[in-house]
Amino acid sequence: MAEPRYRWIIVAAGAVMGCIALGAMFSLPVLLRPIAASTGWSTTGVSAAMTVGFLAMAVGSAAWGTLSDRIGARWTCLIGSLLLGAGLELASMAPSLIGFQFAFGLLVGLATSAIFAPIMACVTGWFSTQRSLAVSLVSAGFGVAPLTMSPWVARLASAHDWRQVLQIVAVLVVSVLVPVSLLVRRPPALEQASAQGGDAASPEPAMPMGQLIRSPQFMVLVLTNFFCCATHSGPIIHTVSYAVTCGIPLTTAVTIYSVEGLAGLGGRIAFGLAGDRFGARRTLVAGLLMQAFFAASYYFASSLDVFYAVAVLFGFTYGGVMPLYAVLARENFPLRIMGTVIGGTAMAGSLGMATGPVLGGWLYDTFGSYGSLYLVSWGFGIIAVMMAMTFRPVEQNHDAAVAV
């Protein structure tokens, strides 16, 4: 059978789709000033589309994840790819700020979430060994987006109007993501169960939605992911501005974000290997503890070399812990509802990410510095650690029928 080897095709497809989809969404920070200068719209109004996008991702993650359990990741990714292209095209033609916020914020945010939860759920179903590594490799595709798509968009913006740039990105999205989506297949266990009569032939017990929502394992994953993302959201969004207040030129301060991103790629691989060897839960707890203290370390940064040092450590840990939630989900819940579980945790993570921009800005306006932001982030990180430590695995094995 081709399935055992084909699982790595699923990983590659997920990484490519993640890179392009998230990169398309994060083209907005690159185009923020050109859009405001060209249209006269306020910077706050244009950037608000990103906040709308995060909120749309939160709602969409749960919805698309549940839908993927019914129709499969291939079709949710395909629909999301077409919706993403349409959202970018509509945003490029937006005649008003409200229209732009709707097209880029709502549609692009919803479309991006159609890729993440379904493909992560699909990948976990293809692996019983090397699962942490596989999920981490897909996550690395999402993580590399700011390092590949963003510079490409910046180069386009130097030669084209922002509307033309969005149209070019839309063409890339549709021409690449649509055919790559067709490479995605259901995990062999689900295909076999479907061919033999659906639920009756499923090798794993069914779990009703109400039971899932009430389960301690699901609630712990959701809350841990929320506080985990709240921990790194503020530092990710505001550290460049903090570095500028320390006297570092903006063009240099931006490189701190790039250093975080590069370190995060290494963290995803390292934590994936550690998760396979030492267990996902144990690795997650250790990573969350490291993340909390490395986030707080920015409080002591004032020179560029210290910012770089902290960025390496912080990026390595926050990038590394994120894929482990999908691994824990697969280890503790039936494959048949994996999209719903991962979609729920992704929704919590998106809400956690939405706290950083507003909270960081409010703390800076209130106290006149960013120091308190990193202390609050440390507090969120410690809460995430304590939540993760309460996680107790479900006492059943879901891996017996997962093809390797």
**CA 223 – CA 221 distance, rounded (Å):** 6
Whether 89 and 219 share a structural domain: no
pLDDT in tens, 163-217: 999 999 999 999 999 999 999 998 887 766 655 555 444 455 667 777 888 899 9
Torsions phi, psi for 184 (to 5 deg): -75, 130
Nearest of 137, 174, 129 to residue 12 by alpha carbon: 137
pLDDT of 229 higher than 90 = yes
Which amino acid is residue 242, in one-letter code? Y
Mean pLDDT of 32-45: 84
Number of domains in the chain: 2
Least confident of 233-247, 300-314, 364-378, 389-403: 389-403
Structure tokens at 369: 């510095």
CATH code: domain of residue 222: 1.20.1250.20
- Percentage of the chain surpassing pLDDT 70? 93
Whether 7 and 75 share a structural domain: yes
Mean pLDDT of all residues belonging to the chain? 87
**CA 140 – CA 11 distance, rounded (Å):** 10
pLDDT at 399: 43
pLDDT at 267: 92
pLDDT at 194: 59
Whether 345 and 238 share a structural domain: yes
Whether 238 and 358 share a structural domain: yes
CB atoms within 10 A of CB 199: 11
pTM: 0.79
Whether 94 and 224 share a structural domain: no
| CB-count exposure of residue 37 (10 Å: 0-12, 13-18, 19+) | exposed
Whether 323 and 378 share a structural domain: yes
Q: The dihedral of CA 253, 258, 262, 265: what is its sign?
A: positive
Structure tokens at 90: 């509509």
Q: How many residues does the chain have?
A: 404
**CA 207 – CA 81 distance, rounded (Å):** 30
CB atoms within 10 A of CB 211: 11
Is 148 a domain residue? yes
Higher confidence at residue 219 or residue 212?
A: 219
Whether 42 and 102 share a structural domain: yes
Half-sphere exposure of 44 (CA within 13 A, CB side): 2
- Contact in structure between 136 and 267 (CB atoms under 8 Å): no
Which one-letter DSSP state was computed for residue 298?
G
Last residue in a domain, options 123, 155, 186: 186
Among 41-45, 75-79, 261-265, name the most confident range: 75-79
Mean pLDDT of 345-355: 88
Which amino acid is residue 3, in one-letter code? E
Indicate the SS3 state at residue 301. coil
**CA 277 – CA 290 distance, rounded (Å):** 19
- Contact in structure between 283 and 335 (CB atoms under 8 Å): no
pLDDT in tens, 101-152: 999 989 999 999 999 889 988 998 888 888 888 888 898 888 888 778 878 8
Whether 36 and 168 share a structural domain: yes
pLDDT at 192: 67
pLDDT of 249 higher than 70 = yes
**CA 93 – CA 186 distance, rounded (Å):** 37
Torsions phi, psi for 402 (to 5 deg): -85, 125
Helix and strand numbers (H, E) in the chain are 18, 0
Residue 298: which pLDDT band, with cuts at 50, 70 and 90? Answer: very high
Whether 7 and 129 share a structural domain: yes
Whether 86 and 133 share a structural domain: yes
pLDDT at 200: 43
Is 194 a domain residue? no
Last residue in a domain, options 186, 201, 228: 186
Mean pLDDT of 312-328: 93
Whether 165 and 289 share a structural domain: no
**CA 189 – CA 279 distance, rounded (Å):** 23
pLDDT in tens, 141-151: 888 887 788 78
pLDDT of 398 higher than 70 = no
Helical pair 108-126 and 338-367, crossing angle rounded to 10 deg: 130
pLDDT of 262 higher than 80 = yes
- Contact in structure between 86 and 33 (CB atoms under 8 Å): no
Residue-wise burial string across 356-369, b where 16 or more C-beta atoms lie within 10 A, e elsewhere: bbebbbebbeeeee
**Rg over CA atoms, the chain:** 21
Residue 2: which pLDDT band, with cuts at 50, 70 and 90? Answer: very low
User: Which residue range forms the structural domain that includes residue 117?
Assistant: 3-186
Structure tokens at 186: 């259901």
Indicate the SS3 state at residue 334. coil
Distant-in-sequence, close-in-space partners of 359: CB < 8 Å, separation ≥ 6: 234, 373, 376
pLDDT at 197: 55
**CA 378 – CA 102 distance, rounded (Å):** 34
Higher confidence at residue 404 or residue 230?
A: 230
pLDDT at 205: 61
pLDDT of 404 higher than 80 = no
Nearest of 251, 378, 259, 380 to residue 315 by alpha carbon: 259
pLDDT at 401: 39
Residue linked to tokens 């490029």? 92
**CA 292 – CA 375 distance, rounded (Å):** 9
Can you list the alpha helix ranges (DSSP code H) found in 246-370?
250-278, 280-297, 304-321, 324-332, 338-367
Indicate the SS3 state at residue 399. coil
